[in-house]
A = this chain, B = another copy of it.
């Protein structure tokens, strides 16, 4: 399979880099794919001192509604994922964390995009001033993990990275509980 596919850019915006790429398939044929190149991102589930987790709510033009998410953003060129998570935690939620634990990560939509989102859990939070972008309007929604998981089950939390971070954090909690009671 081709390591360096030929690429013709068809749209280069501030956010989206859209191209036509020729890829060699396992049978040796060359096939053209429409592919978005993306720098990747980081998303962070904040764990508050009182044990609640912190979700945010913001209007997302792509889906035309206000949705639940966790703080997240795109990697700057060369930026380590943990630095990006820490930056978004401060900018969008107004916290710095003494500890960022990896919660895995995911390709968000492998059919046409190489966006990889690194997930983190943030602990040991201290309040700092938020620093929102001009087009960000973000409401903070602290809640118990159990409530957030009910919102996942009901479909009210429908963002993929947010669901994944909550479900993986729940697994972590259960494993720790199992260890404690083993």
Instruction: Let me know if A137 and B106 touch, CB within 8 A.
Output: no
A11 and B18 form a contact (CB under 8 A): yes
A9 to chain B, nearest CB (A): 10
10 contacts between A and B (CB under 8 A): A5-B61, A10-B13, A15-B112, A23-B61, A36-B62, A104-B155, A106-B160, A107-B159, A116-B158, A160-B160
Contact with B along A71-90 (1 / 0, CB 8 A): 00010000000000000000
Q: Decide: A111 near B26, CB < 8 A? Known: A104-B155, A160-B164.
A: no
The distance from the CB of A160 to the nearest CB of chain B, in whole angstroms, is 4
Does B109 lie within 8 Å of A113, measured CB to CB?
yes
Q: Which residues from chain B contact A106 at a C-beta distance below 8 Å?
A: 158-160, 163
**Complex formed: what's the CA distance from A108 to B167 in Å?**
16
Please measure, in the bound complex, the distance between the C-alpha atom of A160 and the C-alpha atom of B115, giving whole angstroms.
Answer: 11
The yes or no answer to A91 lying at the interface (CB within 8 A) is: no
- Select which of B18, B27, B60, B168 is within 8 A of A16 by beta carbon: B18
Tell me if A110 and B153 are in contact (CB < 8 A).
no
Q: Which B-chain residue is minimally distant from A67 (CB atoms)? A: B110
Contact assessment for A11 and B14 in the assembled complex, using a CB-CB cutoff below 8 Å:
no
What is the 8 Å Cβ interface bit string for chain A, positions 91-127, against chain B (1 contact, 0 not)? Answer: 0000000000000111111111111110000000000
Question: What's the least CB distance linking A173 to chain B, in Å?
Answer: 13
Other than A33-B62, A108-B160, give 20 A-B pairs with Cβ distance below 8 A. A3-B64, A11-B18, A13-B34, A16-B34, A25-B135, A31-B61, A31-B135, A35-B61, A60-B110, A60-B111, A62-B111, A62-B112, A64-B114, A67-B107, A104-B163, A106-B159, A108-B109, A109-B109, A160-B164, A164-B167
